[in-house]
Chain A
Amino acid sequence: MVELQYEIKNGVFKAHINPDNDLSDISEVCNIVEEHSEVVLIGIDLYKCSYIQSKFLAGLVAVKKLAMVRKINIELLNVCDNIIQVLQSTNLQKLFVIKDDFASYPLDALFERFLDTDKAGTVSEYLAANYDDNIQNKLIELIDGGNPLLVEYAILTMGRAQDYQNLEIYRKALNANEASVKSAAILVLGWIGDTQSKEQLYSYLASKEIGISEAAAASIALLSDDTDSEKLAKYLHDSDIRIRLVAIYALSLINDEKAFEYLSNAMNEEKDEAVRIQLTKKIALFKDERVGRILLGLLDDNSIQLREAAASGLSRRGSGEFTSILVEKIGDNDNWVGFFAAKSLAGIEDENIIKKIESYYDKVEQNVKLAIIEVLGKCKGVDPSFLLSKLDDTNEDIRKEALNSLSLMHGPVALTAAIKLFNKDESWLVRYKAVNIILEQKPVGYDNLLRARLKDETNKYILEHIIGEIGE
């Protein structure tokens, strides 16, 4: 019988389970946790296991119970799909948080994950955070090996680790055959500030290959000095729409006065709808005082998408001096303009304005109603009676949103409503929200309250959620 490998560091206990996951392994875990009161997180590493014994499974449940008594968290690490399937079929998956912990992987196994575009990013982050000479050498080997997928992520990893020693590798990769390698190099050169490469990046703005022009625009902006706004502005008149779009992106990132002038001029001259929409979204990122007025003007544009983009931009800036106009826009013919207009009014304290907002409620479409209820939860001095009346609405999202807004403005009132609704409401969305409010406020005896609900609750998400939080 092999001894259990484990370590405890900074209150985190990690046990590396042996391939045949004996019952003794998991009993040992319980013993260690019981002996060490400083443990605040239990990690059970199943990297070496390709299957799971039923006795071990029972032992896992025991550890979970122990963790709940101690009010500490437990995580299952590096769980293979086979074992996840067993957890699913025994209905135990909801008890555990499942994560990847790359510390258990040998380097070569990690590099294999570079080949999976969904997983490559997290592996790259991990390697960058734990960067050392060994990893650096292995990455150089990968780059010499020439497999473009591996090269791409090797370069990104080095860049994330701020590896300045390999500047020549990034510069050389600018001329690679594969688009993905080129864009990785372009991004990294921007991250590490290689101004020498900036000239070459301009030539990539016009590239037709996927991802290259966007990466070039981003890095030019990161490497910019006060001459670049003018250089980029020339591209605002290019006949190719894609080039105009990336130039807008780059200028919005440079985000200085010159860039603003160029973009607002372009707004007046540009005819293509897609480009105008982009301009609208990006102008909204500038601090200039004129932005609010420009966006306001665009609320009457011919293009629906542009109107919505303008309204959305205003909603993120706050209503400020345009409050009264925005209140009126709640009733706009385009219900998404109304939606964003309502959202822009967060933080209002004026009672009259609040009454005016509420007055629109009966005249607008469903999504705008929801935006009104949402924004009331973010205003000050709102009389809760309007929201309370919505708790009986026939629409489940209205009830849910009203409950949410109440919880933002008046905790005790929301709690009373939540305690009633989590048992009685016919919509699982509303019950779920009510459960969350109870969990947030944790009134005395809340766990018994929720546990009592388990026998009548039919919705699987709510059941999993309650059991995951307080056990069965």
Chain B
Amino acid sequence: MNVKNVNGKNVAYLEGEINAQTGAQVKAEINTLLNKGDSVILSFKSVVYMNSSGLREIIDLFKTASKNKKEVSLCDMNSDIREMFSFTGLDKVFKIYDTEAAAIG
């Protein structure tokens, strides 16, 4: 997972498939990132697939972040991934932006 600093904001570029294992990895790395910073943007631009186990890891990540008053937002999802979030109602739990530029603000 690549992390860049764009205009002062941390953007983490997720890749490939988000399932139980890769999701747990993402969660661990982002939690570490949030120990040092206040917010992170997760870019789904290169994410091709996601399943419910992967979604759960993302929810878990969000849970920890909220507890510590850190901000997590998501961006650049393709329509299939967006539909998964919408089917579960999670597109209203997370801050989801269309593009990285919009997420950065």
A–B direct touch in complex (beta carbons closer than 8 A):
yes
Interface residues of B in 31-53 (CB under 8 A from A): 48-53
Residue of A nearest to B60 (CB): A193
B88 in contact with A221 (CB, 8 Å): yes
A residues less than 8 Å from B89 (CB atoms): 156, 187, 190-191, 215, 218
Q: Which of A125, A191, A284, A285 contacts B90 (CB 8 A)?
A: A191
Chain A 185-199 near chain B by CB (<8 Å), digits 1 or 0: 001001111000000
Please report whether the interface of chain B is mostly helix, strand, loop or mixed according to DSSP: helix
B88 in contact with A287 (CB, 8 Å): no
User: B residues near A, CB below 8 A?
Assistant: 17, 19, 48-53, 55-56, 59-60, 62-63, 66-67, 78-80, 84, 87-90, 92-93
Chain A 162-192 near chain B by CB (<8 Å), digits 1 or 0: 1000000000000000000000000100111
A316 in contact with B55 (CB, 8 Å): no
Instruction: Confirm or deny: A48 has a beta carbon within 8 angstroms of a beta carbon on chain B.
Output: no
Whether A222 touches B78, Cβ cut-off 8 Å, given contacts A187-B89, A287-B49, is no
User: A residues near B, CB below 8 A?
Assistant: 121, 124-125, 128, 156, 159-162, 187, 190-193, 214-215, 218-219, 221-222, 224, 249, 253-256, 284-287, 316
Can you name 17 A-B pairs with beta carbons within 8 Å? Answer: A124-B92, A125-B92, A156-B89, A187-B88, A190-B88, A190-B89, A193-B56, A193-B60, A218-B88, A222-B56, A222-B88, A253-B51, A255-B49, A256-B19, A256-B53, A287-B17, A287-B49
Whether A162 touches B52, Cβ cut-off 8 Å, given contacts A125-B92, A191-B90, is no
Whether A162 touches B66, Cβ cut-off 8 Å, given contacts A254-B52, A256-B51, is yes
B48 in contact with A191 (CB, 8 Å): no
Residue of A nearest to B48 (CB): A287
Residue of A nearest to B84 (CB): A253
A222 in contact with B92 (CB, 8 Å): no
How far, in whole Å, are A316 and B80 apart by their CA atoms in the complex? 8
**What's the minimum C-beta distance from B82 to chain A, rounded to whole angstroms?**
12
A residues less than 8 Å from B51 (CB atoms): 253-256
B residues less than 8 Å from A219 (CB atoms): 88
Extra A-B contacts (11), CB below 8 Å, given A192-B63, A253-B51: A124-B92, A156-B89, A162-B93, A193-B59, A218-B89, A219-B88, A253-B87, A254-B51, A256-B51, A286-B49, A316-B80
How far, in whole Å, are A214 and B80 apart by their CA atoms in the complex? 17
B residues less than 8 Å from A191 (CB atoms): 59, 88-90, 93
A residues less than 8 Å from B78 (CB atoms): 316
**What's the minimum C-beta distance from A319 to chain B, rounded to whole angstroms?**
15
**What's the minimum C-beta distance from A22 to chain B, rounded to whole angstroms?**
33
How far, in whole Å, are A431 and B16 apart by their CA atoms in the complex? 39
B52 in contact with A224 (CB, 8 Å): yes
A316 in contact with B79 (CB, 8 Å): yes
Residue of B nearest to A122 (CB): B92
B residues less than 8 Å from A161 (CB atoms): 66
B56 in contact with A218 (CB, 8 Å): no
Residue of A nearest to B93 (CB): A160
**What's the minimum C-beta distance from A346 to chain B, rounded to whole angstroms?**
12
Residue of B nearest to A161 (CB): B66
B residues less than 8 Å from A156 (CB atoms): 89, 92
Per CB-CB distance, the 8 closest pairs between chain A and chain B, nearest first, are A255-B51, A218-B88, A221-B52, A287-B49, A187-B89, A160-B93, A253-B52, A254-B52
Residue of B nearest to A288 (CB): B49
B residues less than 8 Å from A128 (CB atoms): 93
Residue of A nearest to B66 (CB): A162
Q: Which of A124, A249, A284, A316 contacts B87 (CB 8 A)?
A: A249
